[in-house]
Amino acid sequence: MKFNVVQKVMKVNDELAAHNRTRLVEADVIAINMMSAPGSGKTSLIEAAAERLKGRLALGVVEGDPETTLDAERISRCDVPVVQVQTAGGCHLEANLVGQALDHLPLQELELVIIENVGNLVCPVEFDLGETVRVAVVSTPEGHDKPAKYPKLFRKADLIVLNKIDLLPYLEFDIARFLDYLGRLNPEFTLIQTSCATGEGIAQWTDWLWDTASVPAIP
Amino acid sequence: MHELSLVKSILEEAVRLAEAEGAERISGIVLQVGALRQVVPELMKFAFEAASQGTPAEGASFEWKVVPALVLCDNCETLYSPSSWVWDCPACGMLKGSLQAGDELVLETVELAGVPAEAPR
C-alpha cells in the first residue's frame, strides 16, 4: 500500500533553523553563517574583527569543527564569548547543533554572532542554521575557479571575502577571471579583499560587519 | 558527505508512518531530488541499505525522481532550464534569476506491506 507523504526530508532542520531565527530576532542579534574550505582563514578573519570591534560591537562566536577546541581557544583569547561545536566527523553544522550552541552564549548581551561553519564548500550550503546573512570566504591559494566549481555557495552569499591577497604575487590566481565567475553567478555581488597577514582590507571587513549588525534583525 | 544524516531522517519518518498504520514492514521509498540539490542519490541508496538493517525498512526498494532545475528570470520573467552553472536567460541574457524548481529533497511516497485491513463499518 502506497502512502503519499510529500514531506521535506530536512523538515526537522528547517523547523529548528526557524526556531533559531526567532530567538536571534527576539534578542536583536544578527547572525552570520561563514562558510569556506578548510584553511581559507575564517578564524583569522574573526580574530581580526574581534580585535577591531572590541568595545564597539558585542560579538559572540560559534565555532564548528569535526574535532578539537583549537579554534574556540583562539577566539576566547580575544575576550569574545565563544562556543565550540564538535561535529565528530560531520561535514557541516546543522540547526540543532547551532541551537545548542546559542544556549551557551549570552544572547541578550550580544549584537552579532558569527557562526564559523565546518570547512567545506558543498555540504554547509544545504543546511539552514537560522542565520541572517551568509558569507563565503575563499583564499587565493585555492585558485580563481572556485566560484564556477561551487556555484551554489557563491550565488547564495551576501558577501564574498577573498583572503590571503598578500600571496597574489606568488600565485597564478587570475583575479579578472575570479571576478568574471562571480559576476556570472550574481551581477550584484559584494567582494572584500583581505590579508590577515598584512592587515589589508581588514577595515572594510569589520566595517561590513558593523553595518550588517546595525540593521535591525528582521526575519 | 551528509547523505547518511538525510537517510536517517527519511528512515525515521517511514518508521513513524509504518507504526501509525500498523504495517509489518516498509517495502519501498520514493524521493524527489532536485538537480541542483547537492546530494548524491546513489550514495543515499547505499546509506539507506546500511541504515535500514534491522529496521522494518530492511530490504525496501529505494528510488528517486530527479526534478530538473527551472529558473525564473528576474528581468523578463522567462522560465528556463539553465544549461550550466551560469543562469543566463535565453530571452534577455540577464544573469539573475530565482530558482523555481530543482532544489527539492522530498520524501514523496512510502510503500508499506502487511497493513491490517480497515475494520468493517
Q: What is the distance between the terminal CA atoms of chain A, rounded to a whole angstrom?
A: 41
**Residues from chain B contacting residue A91 (CB–CB below 8 Å):** 1-2
**What pLDDT was estimated at residue A214?**
87
Q: What is the distance between the terminal CA atoms of chain B, rounded to a whole angstrom?
A: 50
Per domain, the residue ranges of chain B are: 3-113
- Confidence band, pLDDT 50/70/90 cuts, at residue B93: very high
Yes or no, beta carbons of A187 and B113 under 8 Å apart: no
Yes or no, beta carbons of B2 and A3 under 8 Å apart: no
CATH number for region A11-210 = 3.40.50.300
- Confidence band, pLDDT 50/70/90 cuts, at residue B5: confident
Predicted complex ipTM: 0.84
Facing A187 at nearest CB: one of B10, B17, B95: B95
Q: What distance in Å separates the CA atoms of residue A65 and residue A41, rounded to the nearest whole number?
A: 14
A26: how many CB neighbours lie within 10 A of its CB? 12
- Confidence band, pLDDT 50/70/90 cuts, at residue B117: confident
Q: What distance in Å separates the CA atoms of residue A69 and residue A142, rounded to the nearest whole number?
A: 25
**A12 in contact with B, Cβ within 8 Å:** yes
Q: What chain B residue is nearest to A151 in terms of C-alpha separation?
A: B85
**A129 in contact with B, Cβ within 8 Å:** no
Collect the ranges in chain A with pLDDT lower than 70: 216-219
Model confidence over B80-89: pLDDT tens digits? 999 999 999 9
Model confidence over B97-108: pLDDT tens digits? 999 999 999 999
**Residues from chain A contacting residue B17 (CB–CB below 8 Å):** 3, 5
Q: Given CATH 3.40.50.2300, say whether it is the number of domain B3-113.
A: no
**What pLDDT was estimated at residue A41?**
98
Q: What is the mean pLDDT of residues B73-96?
A: 96
Mean pLDDT, all residues of chain B: 94
**What pLDDT was estimated at residue A204?**
98
**A188 in contact with B, Cβ within 8 Å:** yes
Is pLDDT at B119 greater than 60 in this prediction? no
User: Distance of alpha carbon A118 from its chain centroid, rounded?
Assistant: 9
Yes or no, beta carbons of B38 and A152 under 8 Å apart: yes
CB-CB contact of A17 with A31 (8 Å): no
**A2 in contact with B, Cβ within 8 Å:** yes
Closest CA to A5 of B21, B39, B4: B21
Q: What chain B residue is nearest to A90 in terms of C-alpha separation?
A: B2
A70, A71, A141, A170 from A78: Cα distances, Å:
13, 11, 27, 31
Q: What chain B residue is nearest to A8 in terms of C-alpha separation?
A: B106
**What pLDDT was estimated at residue A217?**
55
**What pLDDT was estimated at residue B3?**
87
Handedness of CA B50, B55, B59, B65 (dihedral sign): negative
Facing A187 at nearest CB: one of B6, B31, B96: B96
Facing B13 at nearest CB: one of A2, A7, A184: A7
- Confidence band, pLDDT 50/70/90 cuts, at residue B2: confident
Yes or no, beta carbons of B109 and A7 under 8 Å apart: no
Per domain, the residue ranges of chain A are: 11-210
**Residues from chain A contacting residue B11 (CB–CB below 8 Å):** none
Q: Which residues of B touch A (CB under 8 A)?
A: 1-2, 5-6, 9-10, 13, 17, 21, 23, 28, 31, 36-39, 85-86, 88, 95-96, 105-113, 115
